[in-house]
Amino acid sequence: MSAPPDTTPEPLDPTRSGNLAELSEVTPTPATGYTAADHIAAGDGTSVRADTETAVPADDAVQAAGRTAGELASAAEREAAALLAPPAPVRLGEVVPAPERVEPDAAADYLLAADAVIRVSADPAAVAVAGHLAALLRPATGYPLPVTDTATPVPAGGIALDLTGDAALGAEGYRLDITTDGVRIAAGTAAGLFHGVQTLRQLLPAAVERSTPVAARWVLPGGSILDRPRYPHRGVMLDVARHFFGVTDVLRVIDHLARYKLNRLHLHLTDDQGWRIAIDSWPRLATVGGAGAVGDAPGGYYSRADYQRIVAYAADRHITVIPEVDLPGHTNAALVAYPELAPDRVAPPPYAGTEVGFSYVDPANERTYDFVTDVLGEIAALTPGRWLHIGGDEAFKVPAEVYAGFVERVQRIVAELDRDVIGWHQIAPAAHVDRRVLQWWGTTGEDPVTAEAVRRGARLVLSPGNHAYLDMKYAPDTPIGHDWAGLIDVRRAYDWDPASHLTGVPAEAVLGVEAPLWTESVTTLAEIEFMLFPRLPAIAELGWSPRSTHGWVSFRERLAGHGPRWDTAGIAYHRSPELPWPQPATPIPAPRGPAVSRSGGPPARPGATPGRG
């Protein structure tokens, strides 16, 4: 179903002495070791590769590429054959996550013209979405795409973003109409417009992901889409404590969430191995507690300004940051910085291993509650979102009753900050507070204690370890990741139903889904991407699409069609054998570069980090 786009890029071989100017103009992705090659399309819509092989003298190319003249000749022949095949446009239904309703109209394809204008309702948030759309389209199209705000935006040959104020589409829904005369996205909210823009982006050829102009025919398939999310909470958790990831890495992860209409970024900010956010009233948490990481990798922490930058970047993409301070366990780094919080008031040594469950702040010490109040207060002041995540997992050394009392007190502190509490499902036995959310990470689908907390009023975010834990390996030979919750291939990430997953929990209690990425074994941005893709879109579809659209056969086709987009965007992904990746117009030569295996694993790195336990 997914037609091979004309723009599948070839991986560049970094060992090749090719066209350096060309290399330097694409988005730098040093960690992946490969990135998109340049493509030039002829005005008639056929596509010609400006390959490095044609950009250097033939002899050099033969030598550098290690190919014979005969091989080069047959490659040229294939290129010529590819020229004869016009590119198939993306089809209207090829969107991930699957929209609620799709009505194609084959006679209504729209061709984006160089002089197209983006017209948008005169509302600052809507204008910001229009700016985002223009910024997405300008690099690859090279078109100016000016943005004009107006009381009643009409397509008039271009693209209209119409903030209707109509509540029918809900807080995040949108309607997209594509006709030969223009494109209209209508929504009741700026978030809805934003999600509509992500759909529009996926309906353009994969070359739209390029960071430099390419003369393609920018065709959108005609028809209408009506779309609304199934769940209000659709998230990813990134563990920045086990390994630290700087602001730019986090911003790129936020971009990945936005593509797939996710709206929550849960940051696991503190753990035994590192404390990652500056707290003015307890400065040593970051400066001392943030110094290390798993395997003695470099530590680090976000300054207040760094954290605010992350929050603002996410907010611009209609994503809410949920900060987590894991309590009372997973606190070794805090105890190194402030031994007064330790049960024995003695500083433990910094911890760079991957065991869990050994540390805790002293629930019997009033100073502990000063610490919690100060830390959560400072973080809340920097966080516009409603939620504060208090962790609560694996506090194995704290007796059950003491633990419940501690959690209840922390829940009250959160309520006093006028925020809603989220915790891992271990907090279930504590008393209910209004709008309490439990994050389920079990692996069995059976948990009477959590079901009972739901009966008392809690709601659930589902992160089943055996389906949604993106730190699990795909297959036994996946070079990084764990397997304690099982192997999670793409199908396993996709094939479960949040509404009926947990016995005794009614569908109405489920707020949504979240895919956690723990990083004991994940050390680079490329490795993050390798674990996220292609499973992140699977979880995104569970969170967004109506159950009636669920189907592995359709999903794997749609998802595989995104491979060329990820290639072009320089995203390092797992080329899972479960998916029918589109064949490029000409076969991609196996990369001889040192770093990347496009099928097996992420870029190699020196010294593997030990797994859990």
> 412: burial class by Cβ within 10 Å (0-12, 13-18, 19+)?
middle
186 in helix, strand or coil? Answer: strand
Which CB, 356 or 588, lies closer to ligand TNX? 356
Nearest distance in Å: CB 584, ligand TNX: 36
What minimum distance in Å lies between the beta carbon of 427 and ligand TNX? 11
Phi-psi region of 302 (alpha: psi -120 to 50; beta: other; left: phi over 0): beta
CA distance 188 to 533: 31
**Minimum Å distance from CB 393 to ligand TNX?**
3
Alpha carbon separation from 211 to 24, 137, 541 (Å, rounded):
11, 9, 27
- 482 interacts with ligand TNX by CB under 6 A: yes
Q: Verify binding: residue 394, ligand TNX, rule CB under 6 A.
A: yes
Interface with ligand TNX, residue 612, by CB under 6 A: yes
| Min dist. Cβ of residue 611 to ligand TNX (A) | 9
Of the pair 194, 360, the CB lying nearest ligand TNX is at: 360
> Closest approach of Cβ 355 to ligand TNX, in Å?
10
Total residues contacting ligand TNX by CB under 6 A comes to 11
Q: Which is nearer to ligand TNX, 207 or 522 (CB)?
A: 522
- Which residue lies nearer to ligand TNX by CB, 110 or 424? 424
* 487 lines the binding site for ligand TNX (CB under 6 A): no
Q: Which of 301, 302, 387, 441 binds ligand TNX (CB under 6 A)?
A: 441
Q: Which two tokens stand for residue 612?
A: 């859990």
Active site residue 394: yes
Q: Map residues 414-433 to x or -, x wherever contact with ligand TNX holds by CB under 6 A.
A: ----------x---------
Residues 6 or more apart in contact with residue 224 via CB below 8 angstroms: 101, 102, 103, 105, 175, 176, 177, 178
Between residues 217 and 268, which has the closer beta carbon with respect to ligand TNX? 268
**Which residue of 23, 55, 251, 356 would you call a contact of ligand TNX, by CB under 6 A?**
356
Torsion of CA 103, 255, 493, 394, to 10 degrees: -140
Q: Does 471 bind ligand TNX (CB under 6 A)?
A: yes
Q: Find the radius of gyration of the CA atoms of the chain.
A: 25
Binding mask 315-354 for ligand TNX (x = CB under 6 A): ----------------------------------------
Hey, is 379 helix, strand or coil?
helix
Q: Which of 25, 378, 394, 578 is catalytic?
A: 394
Give the distance from CA 223 to its chain's centroid: 28
Closer to ligand TNX by Cβ: residue 324 or 529: 324
The first and second tokens of residue 241, run together, are: 């404590």
Question: How many Cβ atoms sit within 10 Å of the Cβ of residue 345?
Answer: 13
- DSSP states of 219-273 as a string? EE--EEEEE--S-SEEEEEEE-SSS---HHHHHHHHHHHHHTT--EEEEE-EETT
State the residues that interact with ligand TNX by CB under 6 A. 356, 393-394, 424, 441, 469, 471, 482, 518, 520, 612
Catalytic residue IDs: 394
